[in-house]
Amino acid sequence: MSKFVDKTLAEIVDYIKDAVFSEEYAKLNAFLQKISPKVKFISFMVLITATIFARNVYIILVFFSASLMLASLSRIPLRFYIPRVLIFIPIFTGIIALPYIFNVFQPYEGTPLVVLHDFQRVIDLPLLRPFSRIEITSEGVFWASTFLARVTTAVSFAILLMLTTRWSDLVNALNALRFPKMFVLILGMAYRYIFLLLDMVSKMLFSRKSRAAGKESSVSSWKLNAGIVGALFLKSYDMSEDIYLAMLSRGFNGEFMHVHADSQPRRSAKDFMFLSTIIIFCISALLAEVMV
Amino acid sequence: MHIPDGYLGPATCAVMFAVMIPVWYFAFKRTGEKLGPKEVPMLAVLSAVSFLVMMFNWPVPDGTTAHMVGGTLIAIILGPWAAVIGITVALGIQAFFFGDGGITALGANCFNMAFVLPFAGYYLYRLLEGRIGKVGASGIAAYIAINIAAIFAAIEFGVQPYIAPGYCPYGLNLSIPAMAFAHLTTAGPVAAVVTAVVIGYLEKSRPDLLKLKKIAPGVTE
């Protein structure tokens, strides 16, 4: 467990570093970067929603190819983009999908693909279907991979939006789309704090690790995690006071404005073309699914 | 407890968003009226803390995942309406940038973790506070609240086999025991211990933080 936590955390920290680094791509002068953030946000919401309604694995692949194509058009190297999309899939979605490939967790009998263990007798556990073998079934693998493919594609669009849009432009777009002011303000601040707090957590874990020897019991690792959350909370409270004072001294009065704010909202024919192409693409992909 | 995309049928997703719209409306209205500029950065920090504690999750076979949320803690300090906003922000970032919890299931996830959980936690805390003290009350409130939220999540995806075949394959007979077991035995105790430890520390060293004005129904001053 503690190894898993360490690994998760190391990956998160790396990801965050990538995320900061990735404003590099948002500054390029390529295809998606030139679309206005507002239109881009709406278009990607359409793409994500359409992906989630797709149930046929081939249609999901069509959506995924579209995201790869958009990424190449925007001069994002695929060897950077694909790992970036995949890094969190196993941690959050993979662990939900994984149990389903085994027959014991499935609601009905499937076609066995690999038999992992044969008990030679029927085992009747509470809540589970009686089973005599543990096996990986083809239905389970099919369900899990469709599920993973769908989530991966949806995440790939969300990440592409992030990679090609500066965070401040995105926050401004949400503001322009009439999201509640309070929501946009807190979103903008919380996003930045996450980077800072993560750094704090990884330092705390690292310093604790550097002083520990031997194997740790799960009780003590629980205590450690509780303590770290407690310390994190107190540190962050003190920080929020400092930030409030810093904001006050720069003239904060409850209203806010972001840097790089769009001085004149561009509404070009290109934006319109992009949005319509996306909508037509999504409708035809979903229609194709109904017909297949 | 994050329900992923593809677990809930379209009708359920739509209903959960429809339920959350008035909740969000009132949360923003009440918080906008009551939250001073001083509490805004604090809410943003709490939202980031909630985001981070939710990252420490583990799988629940026949269910989704288990983790603590921090909703009771935010609700005790700033009130449940503020917690609605803080956790909604955290869940939104997780859904869009990390694929943790579905985008179509965001309504349902916010209902469970950003609405049911902080309100249950807040009222349980208020109920118990006078009798057993702040520390015990906060731990018990966090424990019960996360379990109530987990049961709501289990009901939401557990009814899918009956109303929307092709989505979540596990019925209520599996989803409720699986989620209840994981949260009663693992996420519940973590939430209880962490919440109680933080409240205990605050009571000792920063009692002023527990006396901030709460953004809750019926609190007028």
Angle at B127 between CA B186 and CA B68, to 5 degrees: 20
* Residue B98 CB contacts under 8 Å (≥ 6 apart), including other chains: A88, A92, A155
Interface test with A, best of B1, B8, B45, B50 (most A CBs within 10 A): B45
Rounded Cα distance between B31 and B215, Å, is: 6
The residue that leads in pLDDT, A280 or B163, is A280
Residue written as token pair 């409708």: A283
The residue that leads in pLDDT, B162 or A225, is B162
Q: Check if the interface score ipTM surpasses 0.90.
A: no
- Per-residue pLDDT at A79 exceeds 70: yes
Among the listed ranges A108-117, B91-100, B153-162, which one has the minimum average pLDDT value? A108-117
- Per-residue pLDDT at B35 exceeds 80: no
CA distances, B36 to each of A254, A260, B24, B77, B202 (Å): 8, 26, 19, 14, 21
Highest mean pLDDT among A78-87, A115-124, B144-153: B144-153
Give first-to-last CA distance, chain A, whole Å.
Answer: 45
* A192, closest residue in chain B (CA to CA): B48
Band (pLDDT 50/70/90 cuts) for residue A63 is: very high
Rounded Cα distance between A255 and A241, Å, is: 18
CB B160 within 8 A of CB B168: yes
Neighbouring-strand partners of residue A137: A112
Mean per-residue pLDDT, B115-131: 94
- Percentage of chain A modeled with pLDDT above 70: 80
Strands A131-137 and A112-123: antiparallel
Domains of chain B in sequence order: 10-211 (1.10.1760.20)
- Per-residue pLDDT at A184 exceeds 70: yes
Chain B contacts of A87, Cβ < 8 Å? none
Q: What is residue A60's predicted lDDT score, i.e. its pLDDT? A: 92
Phi, psi of B103 (to 5 degrees): -80, -40
Rounded Cα distance between B136 and A43, Å, is: 49
Task: Give the H/E segment covering residue A189.
Answer: helix A181-211
CB B168 within 8 A of CB B8: yes
Task: Give the H/E segment covering residue A123.
Answer: strand A112-123
Highest mean pLDDT among A181-185, A251-255, B112-116, B182-186: B112-116
Interface test with B, best of A5, A56, A194 (most B CBs within 10 A): A194
Q: Tens digit of pLDDT for each residue in A232-270?
A: 777 877 887 788 888 888 887 666 665 555 544 566 888
Residue written as token pair 């906060």: B138
Average pLDDT score, chain A = 79
Which A-chain residues 197-256 have CB contacts (< 8 A) with chain B? 197-198, 201, 222-223, 225-227, 229-230, 232-234, 236-237, 239-241, 243-244, 247-248, 252-254
Neighbouring-strand partners of residue A157: none
Q: What is residue A3's predicted lDDT score, i.e. its pLDDT? A: 59
Rounded Cα distance between A61 and A44, Å, is: 17
Band (pLDDT 50/70/90 cuts) for residue B51 is: confident
Q: What is residue A1's predicted lDDT score, i.e. its pLDDT? A: 47
Q: What is residue A227's predicted lDDT score, i.e. its pLDDT? A: 67
Neighbouring-strand partners of residue B66: B58
